[in-house]
Amino acid sequence: MDRRTRQDARVVELERAIADPERGDRARLLAQLEETREAVRSEKLGEVAEEFDHVHSVQRAQKVGSVHHIIPPERLRPYLIEAVERGMDRELAGASLPTLELTSTS
């Protein structure tokens, strides 16, 4: 991300202007460079996110095992309820019930 930001023409131009010893507005240019870097970095983040979205998808994530199920929105609530119920059933089936010991006093 930093490399992309440093190579942006707007950043390069400002850095050249700052390096020019004959410029008398160095302080203003430094402030402008900082603002420009922030804006350019934000743009570059957006570009990287867009590139990522073109390469990666939820279907690809499922294919490589990062995602187990793709659940349509209208099925999400019932799926979650079923998952909680399955988990509760599994816990209850695995739980051992305490046994009562009866002793005789006679």
Please tell me the pTM assigned to this model: 0.53
DSSP one-letter string for 1-70: -HHHHHHSHHHHHHHHHHH-TT-S-HHHHHHHHHHHHHHHHHHHHHHHHHHHHHH--HHHHHHTTS-S--
Q: Domain count of the chain?
A: 2
> Over the stretch 19-42, which tens digit does the pLDDT of each residue have?
998 988 999 999 999 999 999 999
Q: Are residues 72 and 31 in the same domain?
A: no
pLDDT of residue 54: 85
Q: Are residues 13 and 45 in the same domain?
A: yes
pLDDT classification of 17: cutoffs 50, 70, 90: very high
pLDDT classification of 78: cutoffs 50, 70, 90: very high
Q: Are residues 50 and 84 in the same domain?
A: no
Q: Report the half-sphere exposure of 5 (CA within 13 A, side-chain side).
A: 16
Q: Is residue 106 part of a domain?
A: no
> Over the stretch 83-95, which tens digit does the pLDDT of each residue have?
999 999 999 988 7
Q: Are residues 49 and 7 in the same domain?
A: yes
